[in-house]
């Protein structure tokens, strides 16, 4: 069954992929952007552009009430300057405005982007029952509190799915050959340590967002099958982007760097990533 989807963050690395997938399957897509110069690009994808700012609560509410979508897809981020405080602020205030606008427009369902590395410390990959690490020290605390604010707000909508993404890699991400992490690798700033990371390819992340339109309410870790220590994945990544062998510190692991389990997504929801391991994608 087709639906009318309002995509907030439609020009982001996941958002623009989601727009294309929704249009391909026949949905009506309103693609929100705060940049008027991005409207034509979104129109070329088959979406109806909506210029609005997540920080403008009144303007966003007016846009949503005019649009009257069936569901809101929240893919808002602010990562262009690698400013975690700015991203946390958008998760907090932008999500608040988006949820208020959705409720005012009678939207009963929202799918929202979160992260899978905000869990409390532990020795094994975290599943969705693990609490968020709201007592963390700064600067991590700011990030986790932004995640918690986003997730709390989203749960006010009658039907909701929170997608806790692993670390994104693939084209247009920080792990692309021209991305920030590749620059770090070439400069010798990427350390092969014992911190455990769960990855997800950006295309798998977008496919999960579309699939989540039909998932039951709840939190879902969206990551690949193989959480990996930096001692395993960093050398592979460095070789793939033409960087020298990385410095190594196999004893270093923040207690929270535990990775995440995708068992719920795979077993309960039937999600199957195209890239089940970072080994098949990160080094490509």
pLDDT at residue 190, rounded to an integer: 97
pTM over 0.85: yes
- Cβ within 8 Å of residue 23, ≥6 positions away: 29, 45, 46, 47
CA within 13 Å, CB half, 266? 13
DSSP-derived secondary structure letter, 119:
B
Per-residue pLDDT of 90-126, as tens digits, reads 999 999 999 999 999 999 999 999 999 999 999 999 9
Helices (H), the chain: 15-24, 39-44, 57-67, 84-89, 95-104, 140-154, 180-186, 202-211, 230-240, 263
- Domain limits of the chain? 4-170+200-225+256-275
pLDDT at residue 83, rounded to an integer: 85
Helices (H), 53-201: 57-67, 84-89, 95-104, 140-154, 180-186
User: Region 250-258: what's the mean pLDDT?
Assistant: 95
pLDDT at residue 29, rounded to an integer: 98
CATH homologous superfamily, domain 4-170+200-225+256-275: NAD(P)-binding Rossmann-like Domain (3.40.50.720)
pLDDT at residue 82, rounded to an integer: 74
CA distance 139 to 196: 19
Determine the angle formed by the axes of helices 140-154 and 95-104, rounding to 10 degrees. 0
Q: How far is CA 177 from CA 220, 239, 283, in A?
A: 29, 11, 10
Over its C-alpha atoms, the chain yields an Rg (Å, rounded) of 18
CA-based angle 243:118:161, to the nearest 5? 110
| Tally of CB atoms within 10 A around 247 | 12
Whether residue 135 has pLDDT greater than 80: yes
pLDDT at residue 284, rounded to an integer: 66
Whether residue 81 has pLDDT greater than 90: no
Q: Residues 96, 232: contact at Cβ < 8 Å?
A: no
């Amino acid at each position: 069954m087709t639906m009318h989807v309002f995509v907030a963050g439609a020009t982001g690395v996941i958002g623009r992929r989601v727009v294309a997938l929704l249009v391909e399957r026949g949905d009506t897509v309103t693609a929100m952007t705060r940049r008027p110069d991005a409207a034509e690009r979104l129109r070329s994808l088959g979406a109806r552009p909506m210029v609005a700012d997540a920080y403008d609560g009144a303007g966003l509410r007016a846009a949503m009430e005019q649009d009257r979508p069936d569901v809101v897809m929240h893919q808002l981020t602010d990562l262009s300057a690698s400013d975690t405080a700015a991203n946390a602020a958008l998760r907090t205030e932008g999500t608040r405005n988006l949820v208020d606008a959705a409720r005012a427009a009678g939207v009963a369902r929202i799918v929202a982007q979160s992260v899978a590395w905000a869990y409390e410390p532990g020795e094994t990959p975290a599943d969705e029952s693990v609490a968020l690490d709201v007592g963390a020290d700064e600067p991590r605390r700011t990030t986790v509190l932004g995640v918690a604010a986003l997730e709390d707000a989203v749960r006010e909508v009658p039907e909701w799915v929170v997608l806790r993404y692993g670390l994104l890699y693939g084209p247009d991400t920080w792990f692309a050959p021209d991305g920030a992490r590749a620059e770090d690798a070439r400069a010798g700033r990427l350390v092969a340590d014992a911190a455990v990371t769960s990855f997800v390819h950006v295309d798998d992340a977008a496919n999960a967002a579309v699939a989540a339109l039909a998932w039951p309410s709840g939190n879902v870790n969206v990551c690949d099958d193989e959480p990996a220590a930096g001692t395993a994945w960093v050398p592979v990544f460095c070789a793939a982007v033409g960087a020298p062998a990385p410095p190594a510190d196999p004893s270093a692991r923040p207690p929270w760097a535990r990775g995440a389990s995708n068992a719920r997504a795979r077993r309960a929801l039937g999600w199957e990533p195209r890239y089940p391991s970072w080994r098949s994608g990160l080094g490509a």
